[in-house]
Each structure stands twice: as structure tokens, then as C-alpha cells.
């Protein structure tokens, strides 16, 4: 997990999406990711963006970290000290 990030398990996001809107919707960009951003990350980002859209919120946007945390760690090796519990690549 990236230091300072909020870890929200994908299976618990949807039922609480309106609560997360109040918490996360204050940020102009909310970045979602999972291991490779091929499943959970994009799915949850879509749920959040739909919730923003349904609420008429234009001040926040859901985006997905391309390639997920694995790709980020490969490309940004000098920043992996910002990651908790990530195996060496």
C-alpha cells in the first residue's frame, strides 16, 4: 500500500459508496489501483465515478493507476520506499 493511501477493499466499497463520496469527493483526483489495475481498481473507480456523476459532482474525478501498483513499482523504483509491504521486484 502506498503511504498515505486509504486502503478500501473492493468488496466493501459499493455498499458504502455514498459515504466514500463524502470522504473522497473532496479531492480533485481520486486514484484507484490494485495489483495490476485490470480488475478491482478499474471496477471501483467506475463505481466511484458513477456516484460522482449521479450526485452531479464535477469537482472530483476517479482515475486508475495504469498498470497498477506492480507497474508503478517497476517504473518508479526510486519511490518504492513509499510503499508498505511490497515485495522486491
Query: Tens of pLDDT along 10-31?
Result: 999 999 999 999 999 999 999 9
Query: How many domains, the chain?
Result: 1
Which set of grid coordinates corresponds to residue 80? 518504492
Domain residues for the domain of 72 are: 10-82
> Does residue 2 sit within a domain?
no
**Of 26-30, 40-44, 69-73, 75-79, minimum mean pLDDT range:** 75-79
Contact 48, 32 (CB under 8 A): yes
**Average per-residue pLDDT in the chain?**
87
pLDDT at 89 (0 to 100): 43
> Does residue 3 sit within a domain?
no
CATH number for the domain spanning 27: value is 3.40.250.10
Amino acid at each position: 500500500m502506498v503511504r498515505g493511501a486509504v486502503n478500501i477493499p473492493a468488496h466493501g466499497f459499493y455498499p458504502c459508496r455514498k459515504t466514500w463520496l463524502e470522504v473522497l469527493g473532496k479531492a480533485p483526483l481520486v486514484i484507484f489501483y490494485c495489483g495490476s489495475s485490470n480488475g478491482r481498481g478499474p471496477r471501483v473507480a467506475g463505481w466511484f465515478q458513477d456516484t460522482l456523476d449521479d450526485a452531479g459532482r464535477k469537482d472530483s474525478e476517479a482515475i486508475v493507476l495504469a498498470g497498477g501498483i506492480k507497474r508503478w513499482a517497476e517504473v518508479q523504483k526510486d519511490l518504492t520506499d513509499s510503499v508498505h509491504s511490497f515485495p522486491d521486484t
